[in-house]
Amino acid sequence: MDQTGNEVATRLHGEIEAGRSEFHALLDGVTPEQWRRSSGNPAWTNGALLFHIALGFFLVIPLVWIMRIFAALPPGASRAFARGLNFGTPLFNWINALGPRFGARVFGRRRLENTFDSVCGMIVRKIDAMRPGDWSRGMHYPTRWEPRFADFMTFEDLFRYPMIHMRHHATQITLPR
């Protein structure tokens, strides 16, 4: 990896570790009773919201593979793919609303915490496996799915996204005063 790539990887390692610590702090701040309470997001309980936050990290691994494919193709391919995904936004929204409800029940706190830590380790290994020219490569994204998606996202953007997503939703976790 060239110097610039090393610098990017070092920064991303720090961001992933900070994100892991922030997620643990969120989990530690929610009791089992609070896990089942409504969050500041009307779609979810605190537990479902925490699962949704974790999902932002979980999806990085498959998105790296998808991005590798589209980054190797002409830009029009990912642009067309993103347009197709934008067309399917209602289905995405339905899955995105129901998935965390189910995930919070199936995973629970301890399993979510363990899976989250494992995935953070996988993300760091993916960062370490990046080649020098990869950081600026990327693909078009479905901007109707997520307001924090840019029309075109690089690998560096992809690895930063889960922390941005988490910090947005962390404010919606409701705890008693």
Handedness of CA 118, 10, 57, 138 (dihedral sign): negative
Q: What is the pLDDT of residues 116-131, one digit of tens each?
A: 999 999 999 999 999 9
| DSSP-derived secondary structure letter, 40 | S
Query: Using CA atoms, how far apart are residues 15 and 164, in angstroms rounded to an integer?
Result: 10
- Over the chain, what is the mean pLDDT? 92
Where are the domains positioned within the chain?
Answer: 3-170
Computed on alpha carbons and rounded to an integer, the radius of gyration of the chain in Å comes to 17
Q: In the CATH scheme, what architecture does the domain 3-170 have? A: Up-down Bundle (1.20)
The pTM of the full predicted model, rounded to 2 decimals, is 0.92
Q: What is the pLDDT of residues 146-165, one digit of tens each?
A: 888 989 999 999 999 999 99
pLDDT of residue 177: 56
Query: Using CA atoms, how far apart are residues 157 and 166, in angstroms rounded to an integer?
Result: 14
Position 131, amino acid:
R
